[in-house]
Amino acid sequence: MGTKKGGFVFTSDSKRREWKVSGPHLKGNEIYHMAYDRRNGAILASVVSGHWGPTVARSEDMGGSWKESRSPPRFPKGTGLSVARLWQIKPAPEAEPGVVYAGVEPACLFKSKDWGKSWEVNEALMNHKTRKKWQPGGGGLCLHTIIVSGKRPGRMHVAISAVGTLRTDDDGESWRFQNRNVITGDQPTKYPEYGTCVHKLAINPSTPDVIYQQNHTGVYRSDDAGDGWIDIRHNLPSRFGFPVAADANDPKRAYLAPLEGDFSRIPKDGHFAVWGTDNRGKEWFKLDAGLPEKSYYTVLRDGMVSDMEDPCGLYFGTTTGQLFSSRDQGNYWERISDCLPPILSVNVSST
Protein backbone atom coordinates (compact mmCIF):
# COMPACT_ATOMS: atom_id res chain seq x y z
CA MET A 1 0.00 0.00 0.00
CA GLY A 2 1.31 3.42 -0.93
CA THR A 3 0.55 6.38 1.25
CA LYS A 4 1.58 10.02 1.52
CA LYS A 5 3.96 9.16 4.33
CA GLY A 6 5.48 5.86 3.26
CA GLY A 7 4.65 2.37 2.15
CA PHE A 8 2.97 -0.35 4.21
CA VAL A 9 2.95 -4.10 3.66
CA PHE A 10 0.02 -6.14 5.00
CA THR A 11 0.39 -9.91 4.98
CA SER A 12 -2.03 -12.72 5.71
CA ASP A 13 -2.52 -16.38 4.97
CA SER A 14 -5.03 -17.60 2.39
CA LYS A 15 -7.88 -17.16 4.88
CA ARG A 16 -7.39 -13.38 4.72
CA ARG A 17 -8.79 -12.88 8.23
CA GLU A 18 -5.80 -11.77 10.30
CA TRP A 19 -3.34 -9.26 8.95
CA LYS A 20 0.16 -8.32 10.03
CA VAL A 21 1.46 -4.95 9.00
CA SER A 22 4.92 -3.51 8.52
CA GLY A 23 5.80 0.09 7.78
CA PRO A 24 5.94 2.89 7.12
CA HIS A 25 8.69 1.92 4.74
CA LEU A 26 10.63 4.70 3.04
CA LYS A 27 8.92 6.88 5.58
CA GLY A 28 8.20 10.50 4.89
CA ASN A 29 8.06 9.93 1.15
CA GLU A 30 4.95 9.76 -1.02
CA ILE A 31 4.71 6.19 -2.19
CA TYR A 32 2.49 6.44 -5.21
CA HIS A 33 2.45 2.76 -6.09
CA MET A 34 3.90 -0.53 -4.93
CA ALA A 35 4.03 -3.79 -6.80
CA TYR A 36 5.02 -7.29 -5.77
CA ASP A 37 6.99 -9.18 -8.41
CA ARG A 38 6.03 -12.84 -8.05
CA ARG A 39 8.85 -13.88 -10.34
CA ASN A 40 11.51 -13.02 -7.77
CA GLY A 41 9.69 -12.02 -4.58
CA ALA A 42 10.75 -8.37 -4.77
CA ILE A 43 8.61 -5.38 -3.94
CA LEU A 44 9.05 -2.29 -6.11
CA ALA A 45 7.93 1.13 -4.92
CA SER A 46 7.42 4.46 -6.61
CA VAL A 47 9.03 6.95 -4.25
CA VAL A 48 8.45 10.69 -4.49
CA SER A 49 10.41 13.02 -2.28
CA GLY A 50 9.22 16.59 -2.11
CA HIS A 51 12.84 17.69 -2.27
CA TRP A 52 14.82 15.07 -4.12
CA GLY A 53 12.31 14.07 -6.79
CA PRO A 54 11.11 10.65 -7.88
CA THR A 55 12.85 7.31 -7.88
CA VAL A 56 12.19 3.57 -7.68
CA ALA A 57 13.08 1.56 -4.60
CA ARG A 58 13.33 -2.20 -4.39
CA SER A 59 13.05 -4.60 -1.44
CA GLU A 60 13.97 -8.27 -1.58
CA ASP A 61 12.88 -9.04 1.98
CA MET A 62 9.25 -7.95 2.06
CA GLY A 63 10.05 -4.42 3.07
CA GLY A 64 12.73 -5.07 5.67
CA SER A 65 15.33 -3.18 3.65
CA TRP A 66 15.26 -1.07 0.49
CA LYS A 67 17.64 -0.04 -2.24
CA GLU A 68 17.00 2.94 -4.45
CA SER A 69 17.53 2.58 -8.16
CA ARG A 70 20.82 4.00 -9.36
CA SER A 71 19.26 4.65 -12.71
CA PRO A 72 15.55 5.42 -12.22
CA PRO A 73 13.27 6.48 -15.06
CA ARG A 74 14.58 9.73 -16.56
CA PHE A 75 13.73 11.43 -19.83
CA PRO A 76 16.63 12.03 -22.22
CA LYS A 77 18.31 15.44 -22.09
CA GLY A 78 17.02 17.84 -24.68
CA THR A 79 13.43 16.58 -24.59
CA GLY A 80 12.35 19.24 -22.13
CA LEU A 81 10.61 16.53 -20.11
CA SER A 82 11.30 15.55 -16.53
CA VAL A 83 9.73 12.70 -14.58
CA ALA A 84 7.58 14.11 -11.77
CA ARG A 85 6.49 10.74 -10.36
CA LEU A 86 5.86 7.12 -11.24
CA TRP A 87 2.14 6.42 -11.19
CA GLN A 88 2.27 2.70 -11.89
CA ILE A 89 4.77 -0.11 -11.65
CA LYS A 90 3.89 -3.31 -13.49
CA PRO A 91 6.01 -6.46 -13.46
CA ALA A 92 5.76 -8.26 -16.79
CA PRO A 93 4.41 -11.83 -17.07
CA GLU A 94 6.63 -14.87 -16.47
CA ALA A 95 7.47 -15.13 -20.17
CA GLU A 96 9.47 -11.86 -19.94
CA PRO A 97 12.00 -12.41 -17.14
CA GLY A 98 13.53 -9.22 -15.79
CA VAL A 99 11.03 -6.94 -17.51
CA VAL A 100 9.15 -4.35 -15.48
CA TYR A 101 7.10 -1.45 -16.82
CA ALA A 102 6.48 1.95 -15.26
CA GLY A 103 3.96 4.63 -16.12
CA VAL A 104 5.07 8.14 -15.30
CA GLU A 105 4.01 11.76 -15.24
CA PRO A 106 4.33 13.51 -17.68
CA ALA A 107 2.72 10.64 -19.49
CA CYS A 108 5.10 8.07 -20.80
CA LEU A 109 6.10 4.44 -20.42
CA PHE A 110 9.44 3.17 -19.21
CA LYS A 111 10.73 -0.38 -19.44
CA SER A 112 13.29 -2.13 -17.31
CA LYS A 113 15.01 -5.32 -18.40
CA ASP A 114 16.85 -5.88 -15.13
CA TRP A 115 14.08 -6.22 -12.58
CA GLY A 116 13.66 -2.48 -12.07
CA LYS A 117 17.26 -1.45 -11.53
CA SER A 118 17.56 0.62 -14.72
CA TRP A 119 15.01 1.93 -17.19
CA GLU A 120 14.57 2.99 -20.81
CA VAL A 121 11.96 5.37 -22.12
CA ASN A 122 9.44 4.20 -24.71
CA GLU A 123 10.33 6.50 -27.55
CA ALA A 124 7.17 5.84 -29.54
CA LEU A 125 5.05 7.29 -26.76
CA MET A 126 7.51 10.03 -25.90
CA ASN A 127 7.51 11.17 -29.53
CA HIS A 128 3.87 10.44 -30.34
CA LYS A 129 2.71 12.74 -33.14
CA THR A 130 -0.17 14.04 -31.04
CA ARG A 131 1.79 14.53 -27.83
CA LYS A 132 1.97 18.32 -28.04
CA LYS A 133 -1.82 18.44 -27.92
CA TRP A 134 -2.18 16.24 -24.86
CA GLN A 135 -3.84 18.05 -21.96
CA PRO A 136 -3.49 16.96 -18.33
CA GLY A 137 -6.35 15.89 -16.13
CA GLY A 138 -6.83 17.37 -12.69
CA GLY A 139 -4.27 15.02 -11.23
CA GLY A 140 -1.68 15.66 -13.90
CA LEU A 141 -0.76 14.23 -17.30
CA CYS A 142 -0.16 10.74 -16.00
CA LEU A 143 0.18 7.29 -17.49
CA HIS A 144 -1.62 5.55 -14.65
CA THR A 145 -2.60 2.13 -15.97
CA ILE A 146 -0.60 -0.59 -17.67
CA ILE A 147 -2.24 -3.82 -18.76
CA VAL A 148 -0.04 -6.60 -20.05
CA SER A 149 -1.71 -9.98 -19.75
CA GLY A 150 0.92 -11.98 -21.57
CA LYS A 151 -1.73 -13.82 -23.60
CA ARG A 152 -0.83 -11.98 -26.81
CA PRO A 153 2.89 -11.34 -27.26
CA GLY A 154 3.69 -7.70 -27.93
CA ARG A 155 0.31 -6.42 -26.77
CA MET A 156 -0.11 -3.86 -24.03
CA HIS A 157 -2.74 -1.30 -23.09
CA VAL A 158 -1.98 1.94 -21.31
CA ALA A 159 -4.27 4.64 -20.03
CA ILE A 160 -3.38 8.32 -19.81
CA SER A 161 -5.34 11.02 -18.06
CA ALA A 162 -6.75 12.96 -19.89
CA VAL A 163 -5.68 11.57 -23.22
CA GLY A 164 -7.34 8.17 -23.31
CA THR A 165 -6.46 4.54 -23.86
CA LEU A 166 -3.76 3.33 -26.24
CA ARG A 167 -2.72 -0.11 -27.36
CA THR A 168 0.46 -1.53 -28.84
CA ASP A 169 0.66 -4.85 -30.65
CA ASP A 170 4.36 -4.61 -31.42
CA ASP A 171 5.88 -4.38 -27.99
CA GLY A 172 5.74 -0.61 -27.82
CA GLU A 173 7.14 0.26 -31.24
CA SER A 174 3.87 1.93 -32.14
CA TRP A 175 0.68 2.92 -30.38
CA ARG A 176 -2.86 3.60 -31.49
CA PHE A 177 -5.68 5.27 -29.65
CA GLN A 178 -8.58 3.20 -28.44
CA ASN A 179 -11.28 5.66 -27.48
CA ARG A 180 -14.06 4.78 -29.94
CA ASN A 181 -17.51 5.46 -28.45
CA VAL A 182 -16.10 7.08 -25.30
CA ILE A 183 -17.78 10.43 -24.89
CA THR A 184 -16.19 13.60 -23.60
CA GLY A 185 -18.22 15.95 -21.47
CA ASP A 186 -16.87 19.33 -22.31
CA GLN A 187 -15.28 19.36 -25.72
CA PRO A 188 -16.71 20.42 -29.08
CA THR A 189 -16.02 16.93 -30.44
CA LYS A 190 -18.10 14.45 -28.45
CA TYR A 191 -16.23 11.34 -29.58
CA PRO A 192 -12.66 12.45 -30.30
CA GLU A 193 -9.82 10.20 -31.29
CA TYR A 194 -8.04 11.24 -28.10
CA GLY A 195 -8.63 13.62 -25.22
CA THR A 196 -10.96 11.38 -23.18
CA CYS A 197 -10.34 11.24 -19.47
CA VAL A 198 -9.88 7.58 -18.62
CA HIS A 199 -9.58 7.10 -14.87
CA LYS A 200 -8.78 3.39 -14.69
CA LEU A 201 -8.92 0.12 -16.63
CA ALA A 202 -9.24 -3.43 -15.33
CA ILE A 203 -9.28 -6.92 -16.86
CA ASN A 204 -9.79 -10.48 -15.76
CA PRO A 205 -6.54 -12.14 -16.94
CA SER A 206 -8.44 -15.14 -18.33
CA THR A 207 -10.33 -12.87 -20.76
CA PRO A 208 -7.82 -10.18 -21.64
CA ASP A 209 -9.88 -8.84 -24.53
CA VAL A 210 -12.62 -7.79 -22.10
CA ILE A 211 -11.69 -4.51 -20.47
CA TYR A 212 -13.68 -2.47 -17.97
CA GLN A 213 -13.14 1.29 -17.94
CA GLN A 214 -14.06 3.91 -15.41
CA ASN A 215 -13.93 7.18 -17.28
CA HIS A 216 -14.58 10.73 -16.14
CA THR A 217 -17.78 10.72 -18.17
CA GLY A 218 -18.97 7.15 -17.78
CA VAL A 219 -18.42 3.45 -17.31
CA TYR A 220 -17.54 1.26 -20.28
CA ARG A 221 -16.72 -2.26 -21.31
CA SER A 222 -14.79 -3.39 -24.36
CA ASP A 223 -15.15 -6.93 -25.67
CA ASP A 224 -12.57 -6.50 -28.42
CA ALA A 225 -9.41 -5.46 -26.62
CA GLY A 226 -10.28 -1.79 -26.67
CA ASP A 227 -11.24 -1.41 -30.33
CA GLY A 228 -14.65 -0.20 -29.24
CA TRP A 229 -16.38 0.64 -25.97
CA ILE A 230 -19.91 -0.07 -24.75
CA ASP A 231 -21.62 2.24 -22.28
CA ILE A 232 -22.54 0.14 -19.24
CA ARG A 233 -23.56 2.81 -16.78
CA HIS A 234 -27.19 1.60 -16.62
CA ASN A 235 -28.47 1.78 -13.04
CA LEU A 236 -25.31 3.06 -11.38
CA PRO A 237 -25.96 6.04 -9.09
CA SER A 238 -23.57 8.13 -11.14
CA ARG A 239 -21.28 7.87 -14.13
CA PHE A 240 -18.33 9.38 -12.25
CA GLY A 241 -15.74 7.62 -10.12
CA PHE A 242 -12.12 6.60 -10.12
CA PRO A 243 -11.19 2.97 -9.43
CA VAL A 244 -12.42 -0.15 -11.18
CA ALA A 245 -11.54 -3.74 -10.35
CA ALA A 246 -12.27 -6.97 -12.19
CA ASP A 247 -13.18 -10.22 -10.48
CA ALA A 248 -10.37 -12.75 -10.66
CA ASN A 249 -12.65 -15.74 -11.18
CA ASP A 250 -15.72 -14.46 -13.00
CA PRO A 251 -15.14 -12.31 -16.09
CA LYS A 252 -18.75 -11.11 -15.87
CA ARG A 253 -18.06 -9.40 -12.55
CA ALA A 254 -16.50 -6.00 -11.98
CA TYR A 255 -16.51 -3.46 -9.19
CA LEU A 256 -16.63 0.34 -8.98
CA ALA A 257 -16.73 3.09 -6.34
CA PRO A 258 -19.05 5.73 -7.84
CA LEU A 259 -19.03 9.31 -6.60
CA GLU A 260 -21.86 11.82 -6.77
CA GLY A 261 -20.32 13.64 -9.70
CA ASP A 262 -17.29 15.55 -10.86
CA PHE A 263 -18.75 18.73 -9.37
CA SER A 264 -18.44 17.48 -5.78
CA ARG A 265 -16.44 14.21 -5.89
CA ILE A 266 -18.05 12.89 -2.71
CA PRO A 267 -20.10 9.73 -2.24
CA LYS A 268 -23.76 10.16 -3.12
CA ASP A 269 -25.87 11.00 -0.06
CA GLY A 270 -22.75 10.83 2.10
CA HIS A 271 -22.72 7.03 1.90
CA PHE A 272 -19.69 5.43 0.35
CA ALA A 273 -20.42 2.11 -1.33
CA VAL A 274 -18.78 -0.23 -3.77
CA TRP A 275 -21.02 -1.32 -6.65
CA GLY A 276 -20.70 -4.60 -8.49
CA THR A 277 -22.03 -6.29 -11.59
CA ASP A 278 -22.27 -10.00 -12.35
CA ASN A 279 -23.49 -9.69 -15.93
CA ARG A 280 -20.83 -7.52 -17.57
CA GLY A 281 -22.45 -4.28 -16.54
CA LYS A 282 -26.04 -4.81 -17.68
CA GLU A 283 -27.06 -4.25 -14.11
CA TRP A 284 -25.29 -3.04 -10.97
CA PHE A 285 -25.92 -3.70 -7.27
CA LYS A 286 -24.71 -2.00 -4.14
CA LEU A 287 -22.13 -3.78 -1.97
CA ASP A 288 -22.05 -1.92 1.34
CA ALA A 289 -22.63 -4.46 4.11
CA GLY A 290 -20.14 -3.64 6.85
CA LEU A 291 -19.42 -0.12 5.59
CA PRO A 292 -20.35 2.93 7.67
CA GLU A 293 -23.81 4.31 7.10
CA LYS A 294 -22.36 7.79 6.79
CA SER A 295 -18.97 8.31 5.20
CA TYR A 296 -17.33 10.69 2.79
CA TYR A 297 -14.52 8.36 1.87
CA THR A 298 -12.37 9.20 -1.14
CA VAL A 299 -10.79 6.25 -2.92
CA LEU A 300 -8.27 7.24 -5.55
CA ARG A 301 -7.94 5.50 -8.92
CA ASP A 302 -5.40 3.02 -7.59
CA GLY A 303 -7.10 2.72 -4.22
CA MET A 304 -9.20 -0.36 -4.94
CA VAL A 305 -7.99 -3.74 -6.11
CA SER A 306 -9.07 -7.38 -6.37
CA ASP A 307 -6.99 -10.39 -5.43
CA MET A 308 -6.61 -13.70 -7.28
CA GLU A 309 -8.19 -15.92 -4.63
CA ASP A 310 -11.47 -17.83 -4.85
CA PRO A 311 -13.82 -16.30 -3.85
CA CYS A 312 -12.31 -13.07 -5.10
CA GLY A 313 -11.25 -10.66 -2.39
CA LEU A 314 -11.52 -6.90 -2.69
CA TYR A 315 -9.62 -4.16 -0.92
CA PHE A 316 -9.90 -0.40 -0.85
CA GLY A 317 -7.98 2.33 0.92
CA THR A 318 -9.14 5.87 1.51
CA THR A 319 -7.43 9.24 1.59
CA THR A 320 -8.46 9.49 5.25
CA GLY A 321 -6.46 6.40 6.12
CA GLN A 322 -9.00 3.57 6.28
CA LEU A 323 -8.28 0.18 4.73
CA PHE A 324 -11.19 -2.20 4.11
CA SER A 325 -11.27 -5.74 2.80
CA SER A 326 -13.86 -8.22 1.64
CA ARG A 327 -13.21 -11.94 1.36
CA ASP A 328 -16.36 -12.60 -0.64
CA GLN A 329 -16.62 -10.40 -3.71
CA GLY A 330 -17.71 -7.36 -1.75
CA ASN A 331 -20.68 -9.01 -0.06
CA TYR A 332 -19.31 -8.04 3.33
CA TRP A 333 -16.63 -5.55 4.28
CA GLU A 334 -14.29 -5.48 7.26
CA ARG A 335 -12.04 -2.63 8.28
CA ILE A 336 -8.42 -3.76 8.53
CA SER A 337 -7.11 -0.40 9.72
CA ASP A 338 -8.44 3.03 10.56
CA CYS A 339 -5.26 4.90 11.26
CA LEU A 340 -3.08 5.06 8.20
CA PRO A 341 -1.78 8.10 6.38
CA PRO A 342 -3.69 9.20 3.27
CA ILE A 343 -3.73 6.12 1.02
CA LEU A 344 -2.61 6.68 -2.56
CA SER A 345 -2.75 3.10 -3.81
CA VAL A 346 -3.55 -0.46 -2.80
CA ASN A 347 -2.10 -3.45 -4.56
CA VAL A 348 -2.33 -7.14 -3.74
CA SER A 349 -0.57 -10.33 -4.67
CA SER A 350 -0.17 -13.85 -3.43
CA THR A 351 3.38 -14.98 -2.75
Q: Which is nearer to other proteins, 115 or 255 (CB)?
A: 115
What does each C-alpha distance from 265 to 7, 141, 203, 313, 339 come to in angstroms? Answer: 25, 19, 25, 26, 22
Nearer to other proteins, 52 or 285 (CB): 52
Taking residue 294's Cβ as centre, other Cβ atoms within 10 Å add up to 10
In single-letter form, the type of residue at position 51 comes to H
Binding site for other proteins (CB under 8 A): 49-53, 55, 68-72, 74-83
Query: What gap in Å lies between CA 122 and CA 103, rounded to an integer?
Result: 10
Residue with smaller CB distance to other proteins, 55 or 145: 55
d(CA 102, CA 111): 6
Q: Under a CB-based contact definition with an 8 Å cutoff, are residues 338 and 27 in contact? A: no
CB of 106 to other proteins, least distance (A): 10
* Backbone angles phi and psi of 32, in degrees to 5: -70, -35
Kindly tell me which of 119 and 297 has the beta carbon lying closer to other proteins: 119
190 contacts: CB under 8 Å, gap ≥ 6: 183, 184
Residue 40 or 82 with smaller CB distance to other proteins: 82
Question: Which long-range contacts (C-beta less than 8 Å, at least 24 apart) are formed by 120-128?
Answer: 121/73, 121/75, 121/76, 122/172, 124/168, 124/172, 124/173, 124/174, 124/175, 125/158, 125/166, 125/172, 125/175, 126/75, 126/79, 126/81, 128/175
Sign of torsion, CA 181 183 188 193?
negative
Contact between 232 and 258 under an 8 Å Cβ cutoff? The reply is no
> 44 or 273: whose CB is closer to other proteins?
44
Output 47 or 183, the one with its CB closest to other proteins. Answer: 47
Nearer to other proteins, 117 or 180 (CB): 117
List, in order, residues 6 or more apart from 277 with CB less than 8 Å away. Answer: 232, 252, 253, 254, 255, 283, 284, 285
Least Å distance between CB 138 and other proteins?
21
Q: How far is the CB of 250 from other proteins (least distance, A)?
A: 43
CB of 328 to other proteins, least distance (A): 43
Q: How far is the CB of 117 from other proteins (least distance, A)?
A: 10
Backbone angles phi, psi at 47, to 5 degrees: -110, 130
Q: CB 72 → other proteins: shortest distance, Å? A: 7
**What is the C-alpha to C-alpha distance for residues 136 and 156, in angstroms, rounded to an integer?**
22
Closest distance to other proteins from the beta carbon of 220 (Å): 34
In angstroms, the CA 90 to CA 159 distance is: 13
Give CA–CA dist 292/54, Å, rounded: 36
Query: Smallest distance from the beta carbon of 126 to other proteins, in angstroms?
Result: 11
- In the complex, the smallest distance separating the C-beta of residue 350 from other proteins, rounded to whole angstroms, is 32
Residue 55 or 345: the one with the smaller Cβ distance to other proteins is 55
